[in-house]
A and B are shown apart, each in its own frame.
Chain A
Amino acid sequence: MFDSLSARFTSAFSSLRSRGKISAADLDSTYAEIKQALLESDVALEVVEAFIAEVSEKSNQALSTIQSGSNQANAIFDVVNSSLVEILGGAARRVRFSKNPPTVIMLAGLQGAGKTTLAGKLAKFYADQGNTPLLVAADLQRPNAVTQLQVVGESINVPVFAPEPGNGVGDPVKTAKAGVEFAKSKQYNMVIVDTAGRLGIDADLMKEASDIRDAVKPDEILFVVDAMIGQDAVRTSQAFLNGVGFDGVVLTKLDGDARGGAALSIASLTKRPIMFASTGEKLSDFDIFYPERMASRILGMGDVATLAEQAKKAFDSDKSAKLEAKFASGEDFTLEDFLDQLSAMSKMGSMSKLMGMLPGGGQMKQLTKGANFDESEIVRTKAIIQSMTPRERQEPKVLNGSRRARIALGAGLKVSDVNNLVDRFSAAQKMMRQIRNGGVPAGMAGMGMPAMAPKPANIPPKKKSKSGNPAKRALEESQ
């Protein structure tokens, strides 16, 4: 997601960084780049325009106090990043649990958005934390929606309240209400109500949704939206907001390569936080949504925190432990480690998903054209690192012009390829260093990254963690 956006930002900013002093014309062309990129990423025009206006005003202010070119580029970068984070929902909010259980979560969204699958994912997520969810089959319209939810429930051992056969038979409002009452009487502490897909312009079905809402008085209504949605995100999210209302947003199918600009549109127009990310067809493909991570991914900084989690899975536990120890002891994440990660990740299936998280990965992926991940990009990156001496891999700062030329020659690539890799890498390394030192990297104020933010000297041993999933662990720790 956001691949091309990431690529455009990366190129816009590297050209700014290389400038001695930034002119008004430089700024204009940078904003034009950003505007075009956002439109290509399906951000609604009105949101794009507001974003550009906000960013240019803020960076003009920032620039007036800064003299040197590269600092100026950083200042703009910070403004763009923090504005993105702000729009994407600021700090992620967690589900509000009701003081009088059960906590009722109602799902709503367009047809095929991923509601039923999400119902299962939420149930699993909360059951794994010791809650006792009940799934309620209130989609009595779509053929075999009830069966689908039953299969989902069975696979995760969560009971499904399904008194009606569905396929057009039964009243969804009564069913939903009965489901909540059943949960109360059996002391389930959470109810997840799956509802039928509906169009924003379908007044009858929107009325049905608000009737369900009034019957179950949900603590959270989650608007479920496909990350591939285009400009219609504006109309549809407004229609759901007016028709039934919602408290949070869940983006689905983020395992795809959609740029997902709709996330910006929806968050900015509805002011509702994006709370969860659905990232695959399996019920474990689910995570809390991190606006900061998404913003840094948009900016081509690479989503280092997520990458580290994924890499941990790919590495054998030995190597993983070593990397953790190394990180904890204050040693730098080096190009050597990066190479190791690349090799480890080559073993994994979903390369294209991981590439977007690598520093500059969005750009690399873009170079491969189309969405299909081209293995040769990994080969190229490896070739660059493998053409470095051990010292260069450990200390990229020794990489002067002649060394870079030599490496490019050795790898059979252009010097700019080497520069690009080193630039992105250094930025990521710097960011990791700041996080480890407990500081917040410039422009990432309020950045969560819990998986990467243990206290400086000692990372809690893995075994003590309740959950193997860092996102879950983060949530546990925050509770």
Chain B
Amino acid sequence: MGLFSKFIAKIKGENSFTPADWQELESELLASDIGPTLTRSLLESARRVKSENAQEALKQTLTSHLSTQSRASIANPDGMTVVMVVGVNGTGKTTSVAKLASRIKNSGSSVVVAAGDTFRAAAVEQLQTWGTRINVTVVSGKPNGDPASVAFDAAKRAAQSQAQFLIIDTAGRLHNKSDLMDELEKVKRVVEKISPVNEVLLTIDATTGQNGMAQAKLFSESVNVTGIILTKLDGSARGGIALAIENELNIPIKWIGTGESESDFSAFDAGEYIEGLLT
């Protein structure tokens, strides 16, 4: 039985949650990675819940912590839409770039992808393999070359070929490395000489714990993140840190990744996510 149903069943039957039940709710909330602070405030709200509408009230309480920003994709109304995908190492940027490109292509728009990770071993080849698989043009430069110049060339070529979308893959980087964050800012700046970057998507791995908050903070400070791709939600992790990020930084989750193939990608659904946090 899911915790929601348990919560409501217990309340109906005994008219109060026993201390053990409260403890269980607390551990469920903590186990979702929303963090001890948000857990505490959610528990306080839950205690004020009246018996009959417990389930709704608990969901509403969780929902009230979501971002108020729009979850719609930001597009460039007159010209090419440029999307950058950023994040710490191994979170699923390259896979998400491919998934997003595939989705755009299937909706009938033209899309070019830039292999902006010139650093990691075979990162370019990985994206090229994806390009072949989903039939999308991948622009790449020399290994260990300057990522900003690859992105610049790609932007130029995409603009020339009148592509409707350009998606830029970037190398994984830890947010606490200021030289790498500077490099990322430079990529964005240089691309903007050709066309404004409309959307910066941060990949957050659903298994990430409280460090996700620092990731979101520092990537936002550096390149102004406009949305989150919450990846690897097909695993046992619930991705609660994203709720904490929405709550604290007001950055909306826009997409979720649920597997390793290009179709394992969906627009974020708040209701499903909230239910998933507690089951």
Contact = CB atoms under 8 A, between A and B. Distances in A.
Interface string B3-47: 000000000000000000000001100111101110000000000
Given A201-B235, A232-B236, A281-B89, A371 B208 contact: no
Contacts of A226: 90, 205, 207
Interface in B74-129: 88-92, 119-122, 125-126, 129
A112 B92 contact: yes
A258 B174 CA distance: 10
Contacts of B172: 281
Interface residues of A, number: 57
B235 A230 contact: no
Contacts of B234: 199
- B interface, size bucket: 35 or more
Nearest to B93: A112
The A contact surface, by secondary structure, is loop
A141 interface: yes
A258 B211 CA distance: 5
Interface in A222-256: 226, 228-236, 239, 253, 255-256
Contacts of A230: 33, 207-210, 212, 237, 240-241
Given A201-B236, A257-B211, A114 B90 contact: yes
A352 interface: yes
A133 interface: no
Contacts, number: 163
Interface stretch (A39-47, A59-67, A458-466): A39-47
B126 A148 contact: yes
A15 interface: no
Interface in B216-244: 217-218, 221, 232, 234-238, 240-241
Contacts of B126: 142-144, 147-148
A273 interface: no
B69 interface: no
Interface centre among B218, B234, B237, by most chain A C-beta atoms within 10 angstroms, is B237
A66 B179 CA distance: 50
B142 interface: no
Interface string A184-197: 00000000000000
Interface of A: 36, 39-42, 44-46, 110-114, 116, 141-144, 147-152, 155, 167, 199-201, 226, 228-236, 239, 253, 255-259, 261-262, 281, 349-350, 352-353, 370-373
Given A142-B126, A144-B125, 20 more contacts: A42-B210, A44-B31, A45-B27, A46-B27, A144-B126, A150-B122, A151-B121, A152-B121, A228-B88, A228-B211, A228-B212, A229-B208, A230-B208, A230-B209, A231-B209, A236-B237, A349-B179, A370-B218, A372-B221, A373-B176
